[in-house]
């Protein structure tokens, strides 16, 4: 593991090479797991490099994103996320709001696990709502599959880091509601000074991010917002709510935001999660659990329903009832932690 020093040598962002996760030697995979464990414990935000990362799927994805977001609003709204059965589709500017006040300066297209079966469907699990654009589904789906495969390798590395069997999580990654977001941040020099996306933690286990321009910021250990610079040939990774629980607080969900962008920006985060019905609880052996169990899929949907306008309306109208929803800022450093065992 190496490190990149930024923000006037105040903060260090680790770089972890995951190439050896494909090695047939257990000691090689354990070495990566140790590096990953240290990086997640020390920073929670890191760069990944490795032979698994292929530029070709990203290049095709970016081309599709540029073509799609260049369409007129009426055409894009034909795939409006509120028309979907699994929270997929187009997210217009103003639809999503992480806090009070003005909306974020972004639009998006969300893609979930393509689940065609009738049995087992849920709020985040079903067939995606795809736009009528030639090649879109193929190229976006190929990128989803590419990054999901890297995510599965990382889940095995985390199992090793926790002292578990390497395949411990495999049975809970059959049809996970992992989501790929295609986000477009248009640059508008005349717009008021509001963020591309407000401060938040991610709800899932971890996020794998590819991005075209600067703008991402993270809170460092001193509580200051610092820029995350781009590093060629890498993906950015950060810890989410569920991994904080799994690790029993060894890793903390990383609070981050996108500031007002100085140029047009495309961002492609893949939020890696477990199967919808998996109950997330601390798995580190030999430790007293500091977190109560949390229903994974329910947590994802509850948090989503607190940020998207079409779901908020359904809650207000009584069409949708949220069960055991926790506040959006329940994880990360200095957060009011979700149901600590001392008060559960």
Query: Among 115-119, 137-141, 204-208, whose mean pLDDT is lowest?
Result: 115-119
Separation of CA 303 from chain center: 13
**pLDDT, tens digit (0-9, with 9 covering 90-100), for 41-99:** 998 999 999 999 999 999 999 999 999 999 999 999 999 999 999 999 999 998 987 65
Helical (H) or strand (E) element with 15? strand 11-17
Provide mean pLDDT across the span 106-117: 94
Q: Are 29 and 160 in contact (CB under 8 A)?
A: yes
Token pair for residue 216? 């991402």
Pick from 121, 302, 72, 266: nearest CA to 181: 266
The strand pairing partners of 92, in sequence order, are none
- For the entire predicted model, the pTM comes to 0.91
Question: Pairing state of beta strands 294-295 and 279-280?
Answer: antiparallel
In this prediction, residue 2 has a pLDDT band, given cuts at 50, 70 and 90, of low
The alpha carbons of the chain give a radius of gyration, in whole angstroms, of: 19
Q: What is the pLDDT of residue 100?
A: 54
How far is Cα 287 from Cα 299, in angstroms, rounded to an integer? Answer: 24
Q: What is the pLDDT of residue 193?
A: 56
Token pair for residue 128? 């995606």
The strand pairing partners of 307, in sequence order, are none
195 pLDDT higher than 90: no
Domains of the chain and CATH, by start? 2-343 (2.60.120.330)
300 pLDDT higher than 80: yes
């Amino acid at each position: 593991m190496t490190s990149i020093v930024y923000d006037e040598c105040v903060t260090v962002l680790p770089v972890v090479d995951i190439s050896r996760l494909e090695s047939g030697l257990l000691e090689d995979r354990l070495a990566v797991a140790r590096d990953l464990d240290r990086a997640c414990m020390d920073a929670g935000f890191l760069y990944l490099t490795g032979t698994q990362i292929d530029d070709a799927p990203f290049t095709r994805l970016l081309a599709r994103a540029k073509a799609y977001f260049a369409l007129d609003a009426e055409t894009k709204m034909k795939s409006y996320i509120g028309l979907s059965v699994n929270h997929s589709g187009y997210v217009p500017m103003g639809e999503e709001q992480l806090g009070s006040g003005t909306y974020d300066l972004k639009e998006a297209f969300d893609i979930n696990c393509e689940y065609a079966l009738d049995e087992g469907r849920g709020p985040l699990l079903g067939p995606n709502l795809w736009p009528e654009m030639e090649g879109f589904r193929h190229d976006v789906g190929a990128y989803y599959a590419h990054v999901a495969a890297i995510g599965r390798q990382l889940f095995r590395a985390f199992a090793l880091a926790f002292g578990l069997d390497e395949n411990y999580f495999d049975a809970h990654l059959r049809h996970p509601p992992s989501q790929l977001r295609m986000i477009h941040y248009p640059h508008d020099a005349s717009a008021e000074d509001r963020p591309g996306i407000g401060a938040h933690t991610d709800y899932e286990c971890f996020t794998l991010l590819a991005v075209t321009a600067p703008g991402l910021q993270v809170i460092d250990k001193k509580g200051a917002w610092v820029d995350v610079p781009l590093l060629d040939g890498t993906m950015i990774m950060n810890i989410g709510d569920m991994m904080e629980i799994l690790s029993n607080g060894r890793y903390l969900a990383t609070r981050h935001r996108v500031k007002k962008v100085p140029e047009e920006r495309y961002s492609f985060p893949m939020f890696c999660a477990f199967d919808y019905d998996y109950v997330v609880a601390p798995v580190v052996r030999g430790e007293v659990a500091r977190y109560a169990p949390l229903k994974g899929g329910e947590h994802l949907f509850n948090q989503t329903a607190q940020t998207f306008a079409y779901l908020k309306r359904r809650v207000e109208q009584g069409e949708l009832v949220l069960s055991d929803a926790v506040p959006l800022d329940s994880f990360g450093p200095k957060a009011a932690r979700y149901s600590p065992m001392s008060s559960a």
